């Protein structure tokens, strides 16, 4: 009798420590804190990467439940320093890259932002915490629909998802203060540059499927002059579509 109670207790403890089984609700706050400290915050990262300085972005990264944006079986890896598969051969980007690209956009609360490549909706949620409205485009219907439901469930009323080829942007809501592309085109999409406000910035990886991709920052000056700067080598899934 005693030993069966012991086995039962051991089994229960085991179940509660496996988050994929959905037993025992962890809140992951400590995992997020550790993620920000070791992977993102410029004051504490130690492996030579350029850390993020913007306190608001660090705060948002500490707050958003990234584990809600990954498949159940990946929840225990949600705060790892890596991209993760989300199905359909796509990934949720590495947390550091999400935070770093967000900082490059120099966002303000009043901004309207376009994202190309909704994926899980995580980057859209990060942006939605920081700006007035986020428009985000996903080419894979199932991912777009799941992200729409997820963002709604998590209370993001200021993020709107459209299923389409994001290469062409989203003209109806243009111009945008900032544009972020989270899949790699082999050239900077001209329609996106057109939909950027004068004074706005756009951040996109650029590079062919088998080439080194460069994270590229494009700025449009107040009088419409386009300037580009390569920031760092990156690896993203390709921007697909028939453009």
Cα torsion 211, 216, 220, 221: sign: negative
Count of Cβ atoms closer than 10 Å to residue 115 Cβ: 28
User: In sequence order, what are the beta bridge partners of 127?
Assistant: none
213 lies in the binding site for ligand SAM (CB under 6 A)? no
Rounded least distance, CB 12 to ligand SAM, Å: 34
- Residues found in the chain: 243
139 lies in the binding site for ligand SAM (CB under 6 A)? yes
Contact pattern from residue 143 through residue 162 relative to ligand SAM, giving x for each residue in contact according to CB under 6 A and a dash for the rest: x-------------------
Question: How far apart, in whole angstroms, are the C-alpha atoms of residue 136 and residue 161?
Answer: 5
Question: How far apart, in whole angstroms, are the C-alpha atoms of residue 169 and residue 241?
Answer: 12
91 lies in the binding site for ligand SAM (CB under 6 A)? yes
Measured from the CB atom, is 137 or 201 closer to ligand SAM?
Answer: 137
Contact pattern from residue 64 through residue 83 relative to ligand SAM, giving x for each residue in contact according to CB under 6 A and a dash for the rest: --------------------
Contacts to ligand SAM from residues 97-116, by CB under 6 A: 116
Rounded least distance, CB 108 to ligand SAM, Å: 21
Question: How far apart, in whole angstroms, are the C-alpha atoms of residue 73 and residue 162?
Answer: 27
Encode 223-241 in three state secondary structure. Answer: CCCEEEEEEEEECCCECCC
Measured from the CB atom, is 151 or 218 closer to ligand SAM?
Answer: 151
Measured from the CB atom, is 46 or 94 closer to ligand SAM?
Answer: 94
137 lies in the binding site for ligand SAM (CB under 6 A)? yes
Determine contact, residues 164/197, Cβ cutoff 8 Å: no
Measured from the CB atom, is 227 or 243 closer to ligand SAM?
Answer: 243
Q: Catalytic: which of 3, 76, 82, 93?
A: 93
Measured from the CB atom, is 123 or 148 closer to ligand SAM?
Answer: 123
Rounded least distance, CB 222 to ligand SAM, Å: 29
Q: State the pairing for strand pair 112-116/133-138.
A: parallel
Helix H or strand E segment including 134: strand 133-138
Rounded least distance, CB 211 to ligand SAM, Å: 17
Nearest residue to 114 (alpha-carbon basis) of 140, 96, 141, 132: 132
Q: Mark whether 93 is an active-site residue.
A: yes
Cα torsion 156, 162, 163, 169: sign: negative
Catalytic residues: 93
Which residues in this chain contact ligand SAM in the complex, by CB under 6 A? 90-93, 116-117, 119-120, 122-123, 137-140, 143, 165-167, 182-183, 236-237, 239-241
């Amino acid at each position: 009798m005693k030993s069966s109670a012991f086995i039962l207790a051991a089994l229960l403890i085991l179940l509660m420590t496996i988050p994929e089984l959905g037993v025992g609700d962890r809140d992951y706050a400590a995992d997020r804190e550790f993620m920000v400290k070791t992977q993102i915050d410029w004051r504490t990262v130690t492996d030579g990467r350029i850390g993020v300085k913007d306190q608001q972005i660090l705060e948002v990264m500490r707050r958003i439940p990234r584990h809600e944006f990954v498949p159940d079986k990946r929840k225990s890896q949600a705060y790892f320093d890596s991209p993760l598969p989300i199905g359909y051969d796509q990934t949720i980007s590495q947390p550091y890259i999400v935070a770093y690209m967000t900082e490059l956009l120099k966002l303000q609360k009043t901004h309207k932002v376009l994202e190309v490549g909704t994926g899980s909706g995580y980057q859209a949620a990060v942006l939605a915490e920081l700006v007035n409205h986020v428009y985000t485009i996903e080419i894979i219907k199932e991912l777009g629909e799941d992200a729409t439901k997820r963002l709604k469930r998590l209370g993001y009323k200021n993020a709107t998802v459209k299923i389409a080829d994001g290469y062409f942007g989203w003209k109806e809501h243009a111009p945008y203060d900032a544009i972020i592309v989270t899949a790699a085109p082999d050239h900077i999409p001209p329609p996106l540059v057109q939909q950027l406000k004068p004074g706005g910035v756009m951040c996109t990886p650029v590079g062919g499927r088998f080439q080194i991709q460069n994270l590229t920052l494009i700025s449009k000056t107040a009088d419409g002059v386009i300037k580009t700067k390569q920031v760092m080598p990156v690896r993203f899934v390709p921007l697909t579509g028939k453009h």
